Amino acid sequence: MPTQREEDEAKIRQQVDKIVEGIRAKDLEGLKRLYATDVVSFDVEPPLQHVGIEAKLKNWAKVFTFFQDVDYEVRDLTVTVGDDVAFGHAFGRLSGTLKDGTATSGMWVRGTFCFRKLDRNWLIVHDQASVPLDIASGKGVTDLEP
């Protein structure tokens, strides 16, 4: 019989799977159910932080306007679970076919998710996506692979 932590880790991994499904389906309502209303997101594009569920969904909506078909892949997800908070990190890649028909393999980013158990449901309260920085040029390095 699984322990509570094992059950919670399985639920969190399911939430990450639902993020992938929501992105692939361009399902803003489905994605909305995965985040806390006061989520704080450190995304790859400005500003430094996006606060609240509407700001997070606005980011996803912007992404979806560029893609005819969108795919998302997660690799090497690691999850650490406490009683009512948990965190995970992974590599993620957004790819697909752009509206003009151009196929793009996208770029890998480093992702961190922080979850809180709210009403027995694990919701994302913070996420961060980043790329390494080449200090000499001041530019992000977007051609690395896990």
Write the CATH number for 91.
Answer: 3.10.450.50
- In this prediction, residue 61 has a pLDDT band, given cuts at 50, 70 and 90, of very high
pLDDT given for residue 46 in this prediction: 87
**Residue 50 belongs to a domain:** yes
Strands ordered across the beta sheet of 103-118: 50-51, 35-42, 121-130, 103-118, 85-98, 67-81
- Please give the residue range of the domain that contains residue 123: 4-130
Residues 6+ apart with CB under 8 A from 15: 34, 115, 122, 123, 124
How many domains does one find in the chain? 1
> Tokens 């806390």 identify what position?
36
**Residue 106 belongs to a domain:** yes
Question: Is the pLDDT reported for residue 6 higher than 90?
Answer: yes
Q: For the chain, what is the mean pLDDT?
A: 96
Question: Is the pLDDT reported for residue 40 higher than 90?
Answer: yes
